[in-house]
Amino acid sequence: MNGTGASAAIGAARARARRKAQDRFGRGDRSAVGRWFWEIDRVLLLLVSVLIGIGLVAVAAASPAAGVRYSDGAVVVPPLYYFYRQCIWLALGIPVMVAVSMLPKDIARRFCLGGAAFFTVMLAAVPLIGNTVNGARRWIGVGPLQMQPSEFLKPLFVVSIAWLLSLRQQDKSLPVIPLSGLLTGLVALLLMKQPDFGQSVIFLIMWMALLLLSGVSAKLIGGLCGGGVGVVVLAYLFYPVATTRIDNFIYGQGDTYQVDSAHRTLVHGGLFGMGPGGGTAKFHLPEPHTDYIFSVIGEEFGLIACLAIALIFAAIVVRVLIKLLDEEDPFTLLASAGLVTQFGAQAVINMCVNLQLAPSKGMTLPFISYGGSSMVALSVGFGLLLAFTRRNPYLSRSPYVVKWSTRA
């Protein structure tokens, strides 16, 4: 080969290499990772990444206060103990979220159905073999290897109920509404035995949201709302946990130390906060790294930072709802809406407790509070949300998808 031919061959090889490099993660990349990259909602992925980053900073700020609270004469908890553990949980949770988000929708649905059945059985076993922490029996496990079945059940259960209600679009005579109500009521009763009234409320909220979206009649919705008020009244009259918390919230009776301390900590930093590590009121919080981390953020980074976090949660909810406006598959619509309702409702309840706008619930702030079961379960739930909101840029909508209808 002469010099000119060799130069041409080298030039062609370099051109092929450049095209290959340009196609990597380009729209022409048909690998599993490439398809995932172009199908995933990257805005949602960015927003949850911001929350995770904020959570790491917040846990680092709250960890010294939590360490002081849980230290005693025999054991001294290092100042950044919970921060390092949170990094470990994130190292486990983030790959789980990415792996779940890569599941095809039919496989994700089957995964949720099987998982919901398994964790419902685990939830029923909690009163028998569960461990008691801070007066509540919610965990199963030995030593540091403990999990909270209700946390894992939430995303799996809401997708399962979404699939059940989506069957109405194929056959209106199926008794899926009463069946879904019975299943939700069963889970709520199991949770109240722990006791965990806050999680019971989350499950009922998810069920009501799915009923609204599934197109049930206004008369049924009105009846259910009335029934919900009746359930709250009955819980107040006959369920001591609800009675105590509602009385403490409305009348200021009993021990209001937790919510009072949270509110004082939240407003102590003013608009712009005391600065990282500058908070002092956080050392009086009962659970600064979990339930009341929002107050720690308010003290150290200011109410402006709290408002920014609330807006990020709102942006995630709005982003998902906007994407669902043109969704034609009933199951995908209900599953995505149910998952984002669970995510948003948990965030709102936690923030309202910190602001003294709701009774204490013992509920974490998604991706910000410290937690093992909570972090991994939230990663599973958000991974499912990313999986169900994926859009294939190469294929048009299937002609076999059932058209969505909101008529009963």
What pLDDT digit, counting tens, does each position of 260-298 carry? Answer: 788 888 888 888 888 888 888 888 888 888 989 999 999
Q: What pLDDT is recorded for position 397?
A: 44
pTM: 0.84
Q: Among 235, 148, 232, 223, which Cα is nearest to 178's?
A: 223
Q: What pLDDT is recorded for position 8?
A: 65
pLDDT band at 135 (very low <50, low <70, confident <90, very high): low
User: Quick one: average pLDDT of 89-118?
Assistant: 95
User: Quick one: average pLDDT of 403-407?
Assistant: 43
Q: What pLDDT is recorded for position 23?
A: 53
pLDDT band at 14 (very low <50, low <70, confident <90, very high): low
User: Quick one: average pLDDT of 362-389?
Assistant: 92
Tens of pLDDT, residue by residue over 148-179, are 899 999 999 999 999 999 998 888 888 898 99
Q: What pLDDT is recorded for position 198?
A: 80
